[in-house]
Amino acid sequence: MAIQRYHIKSAESALGDLRSLPKREADQILRKVQRLETGLHGNIKRLQNADVGFRLRMGDYRILFDVVGDTIMIQKVGNRKDVYE
């Protein structure tokens, strides 16, 4: 059985979100996102009634992303309190 491999892309808004975070948290989020290249592993949920398809949880932070074919597009990164707004 072949392992599903994904290409990771980030929207400009997600890159801006990452730049605004403390370096330690941003580095942890980047490591978590890189693990998605080998499959949708981790605390991932499909979102209902949202602009994006999935969220990945990392402590108090959420990574919101879509999956299209073999590409994961990171849309938004932020604290759980305000990332869904």
With a cut of 60, say whether residue 43 has pLDDT above it. yes
Q: State which CATH number among 3.30.565.10, 3.30.2310.20, 2.40.30.170, 1.10.3480.10 fits the domain covering 7-79.
A: 3.30.2310.20
Q: What is the pTM of this model?
A: 0.90
- State the CB neighbour count (10 A cutoff) for residue 76: 20
Spans of all domains in the chain: 7-79
For residues 1 and 32, which has the higher predicted lDDT (pLDDT)?
A: 32
pLDDT digits (tens, 9 = 90+) for 5-36: 899 999 999 999 999 999 999 999 999 999 99
- The pLDDT value recorded for residue 1 is 55
Q: Report whether 66 contacts 73 (CB < 8 A).
A: yes
Give the percent of the chain with pLDDT over 90: 80
- Here the tokens at position 57 are 């949880």
Concatenated DSSP letters for 39-62? -S-SSEEEPSSSSSSEEEEETTEE
